[in-house]
């Protein structure tokens, strides 16, 4: 069991403050239990409540493999929860424990793409035959982990993916939302899902199954890379009923900044979702940086440099910032991070 100070220290960069209400008095704090096993969250449910957290954001509940943190964001199947951090059974137990303490469960959901398995096979059937064979070898176990559908065959095929092109121009909205996220060195990238009727139905079945398990919030991973039609076709009023939804749309600032104008503003205008408040984060970094001015933090929303409080999910660090080399320049020093939390 961790003490309050130990929990705060060990989780410092794992925590996101989420302003879900229309005023500071209605703010809630979400514990981002990044890469925590579901069993650990279950065991610490009472402590999480006592520490004042209203909600917990948990690792993507889906089928994935590999111990690396980024492997959780490479889905192999939506129909079961099974990865090194837990399975459907442990997710259900965790959810029940949190709800028993009056703490809400947010699921990190990955709807933009599936896992890069090009090194193992050439087809785009998900899950692949190796995993289907695993399902068949222990049907009682896997049927117990099943969220929806049947596990006797793949649920996605080549017809459910966009072109195998890597994004090379991140200012091009079409590329960003229709081509693949790729690494360097010849990486073929993450197969990008299209919003055809079948894919939308499967993703809706998945989200409904998570709601049945007690999920009351969704963080949409890589929302920046999804078209608004895909987002809205999946997240209908029925799907959103009883849950809070917010998207990950990374920008370098607020109104007037190119990424904000191309991606975050259209997302906010085209949905009723919340979003990470990257505009405010940019203002905090500028204000606390060398030569910065606290004037930047006097009502930044008045000039488009912070999201409306009813839509904003504020933070001082996300899981990408310390773990992804492309974002490490955004790490605040410990003193600035404390000041940012206080603000």
Q: Which residues contact 72 (CB under 8 A, 6 or more apart)?
A: 35, 59, 60, 64, 83, 85, 108
Q: Catalytic: which of 108, 160, 192, 221?
A: 221
User: What 3-state DSSP class applies to 239?
Assistant: helix
In 3D space, the residue among 323, 325, 340 whose CA is nearest the CA of residue 71 turns out to be 323
Dist. CA 46–CA 340, nearest whole Å: 27
Return d(Cα 8, Cα 2) in angstroms, integer: 9
Give the end-to-end CA distance of the chain in Å, rounded to a whole number: 30
257 noted as active-site residue: no
1 Cβ contact list (under 8 Å, min separation 6): 44, 47
Q: Which parts of 12-170 fold into alpha helices (H)?
A: 38-43, 45-50, 88-100, 129-137, 139-145
**Residue 4 and residue 53: Cα distance in Å, rounded?**
12
CB distance 12 to 62 below 8 Å:
no
Active-site option among 77, 108, 248, 277: 248
Q: Work out the number of other CB atoms within 10 angstroms of the CB of residue 263.
A: 22
**Strand, coil or helix: 132:** helix
Is 160 annotated as catalytic? no
- Please give the positions annotated as active site: 221, 248
């Amino acid at each position: 069991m961790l003490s309050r100070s130990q929990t705060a220290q060990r989780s410092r960069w794992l925590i996101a403050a989420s302003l879900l209400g229309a005023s500071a008095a209605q703010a809630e704090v979400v514990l981002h239990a990044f890469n925590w096993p579901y069993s650990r969250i279950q065991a610490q449910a009472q402590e999480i409540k006592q520490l004042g957290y209203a909600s917990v954001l948990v690792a993507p509940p889906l089928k994935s493999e590999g111990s690396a943190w980024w492997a959780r964001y490479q889905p192999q199947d939506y129909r079961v929860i099974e990865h090194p951090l837990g399975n459907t059974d442990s997710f259900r137990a965790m959810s029940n424990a949190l709800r028993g303490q009056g703490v809400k469960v947010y699921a990190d959901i990955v709807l933009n793409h599936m896992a890069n398995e090009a090194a193992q096979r050439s087809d785009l059937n998900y899950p692949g035959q190796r995993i289907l064979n695993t399902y068949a070898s222990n049907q009682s176990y896997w049927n117990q982990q099943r969220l929806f559908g049947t596990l006797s065959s793949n649920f996605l095929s080549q017809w459910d993916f966009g072109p195998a092109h890597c994004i090379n121009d991140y200012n091009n909205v079409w590329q960003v939302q229709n081509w693949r996220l790729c690494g360097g060195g010849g990486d073929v990238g993450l197969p990008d899902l299209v919003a055809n009727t079948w894919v939308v139905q499967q993703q809706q079945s998945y989200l409904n199954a998570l709601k049945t398990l007690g999920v009351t919030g969704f963080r949409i991973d890589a929302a920046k890379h999804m078209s608004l039609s895909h987002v809205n076709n999946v997240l209908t009023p029925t799907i959103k009923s009883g849950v809070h939804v917010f998207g990950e749309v990374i920008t370098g600032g607020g109104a007037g900044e190119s990424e904000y104008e191309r991606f975050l503003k259209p997302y906010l205008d085209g949905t009723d979702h919340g979003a990470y408040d990257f505009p405010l984060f940019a203002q905090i970094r500028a204000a606390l940086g060398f030569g910065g001015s606290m004037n930047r933090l006097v009502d930044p929303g008045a000039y488009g440099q912070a999201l409306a409080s009813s839509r904003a999910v504020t933070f001082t660090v996300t899981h990408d910032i310390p773990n992804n080399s492309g974002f490490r320049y955004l790490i605040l020093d410990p003193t600035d991070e404390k000041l940012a939390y206080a603000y």
